[in-house]
Amino acid sequence: MKIALFGNPYQEKYKASLNDFVSYLQEASDLMIEKDFRDYLESMGIDTDKAQVLETGNFGGAELAVSIGGDGTLLSKAALLARQGIPVVGINTGHLGYLAACRLNEAREMIESIKHGDCRHEERTMLQLVSINGEPCDNIIALNEIAILRQDTTSMISMPTTINGTMLTTYMGDGLVISTPTGSTAYNMSVGGPIMMPLTSCLALSPISPHSLTMRPIVVSDNSEIVVTINTRAQWIQVSVDGMAMTLPSGSTVKIAQAPYKLSVIQKKEHNFANTLREKLLWGADQR
């Protein structure tokens, strides 16, 4: 199997386990390592001589991508992997790790399961920033969310919002989070939005600190086209795409819709989201 490996440069406490896993991958697969991560591994004394070095962002026709880190590490490559149709498995060395299939001490067994088809491929909906002020955008894609935020001001944002050409409402507040089911446990959850099962065909619109207490989150179909005009007394506003921020002038209009491709996230065959909620969010745990 042709495997592309990438990760974040915060793995010092996992050095021994990471060394064993990289050694295993070099023996058991045709391994390619993204250059930045390969340089980091070498700096820790981990031998990568048997692996091909990939330029950052180039996965060279890999059959599988392996992400080592937290959810942010996987998110950083999600759009690229989805466009190239490469499935990804997350090995969690971060915090909660909603997207991860396992911890590093289980990684070898996970790869063997994938080789034998003993796993699940979950096709995750992605969002696309289609246009800004009528000008098409080129591959601005989010796996978690697109968020509209105020910048350098305490003034509220006014956001007239349409769904498929029909007026929904004018949101008033600090901003608006438009989330996929995957992103429902990220920024969306922190602003009081609904948690959605990852494979449901829907999106959530969740206002940030709404001016009206009756302005609640809403779930819409994932084939919805969402258009938001962003007005504020300040000169600028911010649009964040999976944490990648861009600054736009007040009065800008953005169009958001489902991306034309999905990301294939690999999980253990026995994985289910209910278990994830109990494990990560401690649902049902008695803290007394």
Please report how many Cα atoms fall inside a 13 Å half-sphere around the Cα of residue 220, on the Cβ side: 21
For residue 80, what is the enclosing H or E element?
helix 71-84
Q: Residue 288 and residue 81: Cα distance in Å, rounded?
A: 44
Number of C-beta neighbours around residue 243 at 10 A:
14
Burial, 253: exposed, middle or buried (Cβ in 10 Å; 0-12, 13-18, 19+)? middle
Residue 47 known to be catalytic: no
Q: Which of 71, 118, 152, 174 is catalytic?
A: 71
- Helix-helix angle 15-28:107-115, to 10 degrees: 20
Q: Find residue 165's DSSP bridge partners.
A: none
Residues with a known catalytic role: 71
